Amino acid sequence: MASNTSKLEHLARVPLFDGCSRKELTSIAKAGDEIKMTEGTLIIDQGQMGREAFVVLDGQVTVKRGGRKITSLGPGGIVGELSLLDHGPRTATVVCDTDCTLFVIDQRHFRAVLEQYPSIAMKLLATLATNIRAMDRQSFG
């Protein structure tokens, strides 16, 4: 099990939580759980409804869309983050490349953190806007 300090360090490296204070990160850490998954385990299935996000604490995962590899993520990577905001279908499939330790947080607990620290919501919106702009540039130049 990762120590609280280690968990906070991993959460601090997640772009979605960039700019969060230690106090805010501690609240996020308390709202989720640490889980272990073995190599080959399906974490997220594209098209299925999701209600939680996963941060890689240890190990590596592969993200695929339409069966095509998009990227691999290691410690500090996050998948499923859109599910923290809505109930839409998963946009990709994610599988453990190795045995993994993941931090999982569901929408209900994450929203409670946002109610406690509304400032996190503004930081998330700024990060999501940056991500959308980057994808737009990548797709349309």
- 3 — pLDDT class (breaks 50, 70, 90): low
Whole-angstrom Cα distance, residue 128 to residue 141? 19
- Quote the pLDDT of residue 30: 94
Over residues 9-63, the pLDDT tens digits come to 888 888 888 788 999 999 999 999 999 999 999 999 999 999 999 999 999 999 9
Bridge pairing between strands 100-106 and 68-73: unpaired
Over residues 102-118, the pLDDT tens digits come to 999 999 999 999 999 99
Residues facing residue 94 across a β-bridge: 44, 63
Close Cβ partners of 110 (under 8 Å, ≥ 6 residues apart): 28, 31, 53, 84
Q: Which domains does the chain have, with CATH numbers?
A: 4-131 (2.60.120.10)
The model carries a pTM of 0.88
Name the CA radius of gyration of the chain, rounded: 15
Residue ranges in the chain assigned as alpha helix (H): 4-12, 22-31, 107-116, 118-140
